[in-house]
Amino acid sequence: MGPVCRLEYTFPRCNAACLPTARTNTRPNAASRHAEPFRRRKVPGFLSLRSSEYALRSRIRKRSLPSITFVASSSSTPATDLKELGDELSVEMKGTSLAVVGDDSEANSAVVKALSSALGYTPFVTEETIEKLIGMTVAELIDSEGLGGLGGVEAVVVRELSTQVRTCVATAGRGGGAAARGDCWPFLFGFISIWIDDGTGEAEDAPQRGAYGQSEIHLRVSDTIKWDEETAADVANQALQGVKQYVDSDEHLCGKKSLYIRLGCRGDWPDLKPPNWKPDDDEAEEPIA
């Protein structure tokens, strides 16, 4: 029996103004600004951010969203079927990248590798990227700086990746990565986001669930899943079905994602404001898209 999954296909109706805004609307060159601090084994002090800067604001609104629910088939997804769906979607998506979030780092990584293979995209696992950048393991980083340190470094990585096309990004799990905090979501809105939700160790009112709930695709899976290649392919296939329905629902969606990134990932998704708009401006201003 394949993994039992519940796929919730969601349209984000909540404006990102309900989340903490990013510190900057520009993305400086990573090589010039961030590479030198990351060469030091000691994580720089600016990454030791206060928990309040990451905490979700209480005004995040609860959303009632349409969903579709199904159970995975008993047989594994044939590689040819997954690849055919990926080839079709890679054209429709026009280079729009995917981000996978959730508290299980292993699940995020396994699904991203299956998605990137099907779509012909470049896979990125943020935990692996972080270890290369700072010269220490994620476990050592957490021991030194706490989960806030992990979230701070990952926020820099996600910000840089948000400008890239044709990528699949697996974010850190552990309930404390950048995707679990509100201030990174202005950059994640540039991706089509997928939440792999197995509920492991998470209370229904855990704060990170409010952040993950901003994802456009919510995929519930059994908490007994063993993340081998076949299982990851099954879940990736279901995720791509949700992505296809999401993309097909609006012919301008991927163009809108591209415009959102070009405007600086300001947090105004999905109601894009005029080019001169800033996150602290009056929300009453009419959107341009």
pTM here is 0.76
Position 18 scores a pLDDT of 38
Considering only CA atoms, which of 245, 251, 248, 222 is closest in space to residue 234? Answer: 222
- CATH number belonging to the domain at 5-262, selected among 3.40.50.300, 3.40.710.10, 3.90.70.10, 3.30.70.2190: 3.40.50.300
Q: Mean pLDDT per 10-residue run, the chain (289 residues)? A: 48 39 38 37 33 32 36 51 93 96 94 97 96 93 90 94 96 90 91 87 73 90 85 93 92 95 94 88 57
Domain ranges of the chain: 5-262
Question: Two tokens at 181?
Answer: 């905090």
What is the Cα Rg of the chain in Å?
Answer: 18
Position 116 scores a pLDDT of 97
Q: At 133, which amino acid appears?
A: L
Chain-centroid distance, C-alpha 228: 22
Question: Two tokens at 158?
Answer: 């996600």
Question: What does DSSP assign to residue 20?
Answer: P
In DSSP terms, which residues pair with 218 in a beta bridge? 8, 195
* CA–CA gap between residue 236 and residue 214 (Å, rounded): 19
Position 279 scores a pLDDT of 79
Strand locations in 118-268 (E) = 122-125, 167-170, 192-197, 217-221
Question: Two tokens at 182?
Answer: 């509100």
Position 289 scores a pLDDT of 57
* CA–CA gap between residue 207 and residue 73 (Å, rounded): 32
The answer to whether the Cα torsion of 46, 48, 50, 54 is positive or negative is positive
* CA–CA gap between residue 73 and residue 50 (Å, rounded): 45
Position 281 scores a pLDDT of 65
Considering only CA atoms, which of 98, 62, 30 is closest in space to residue 257? Answer: 98
* CA–CA gap between residue 32 and residue 228 (Å, rounded): 39
Position 278 scores a pLDDT of 84
Euclidean distance between the first and the last CA atom of the chain, given in angstroms as a whole number: 44
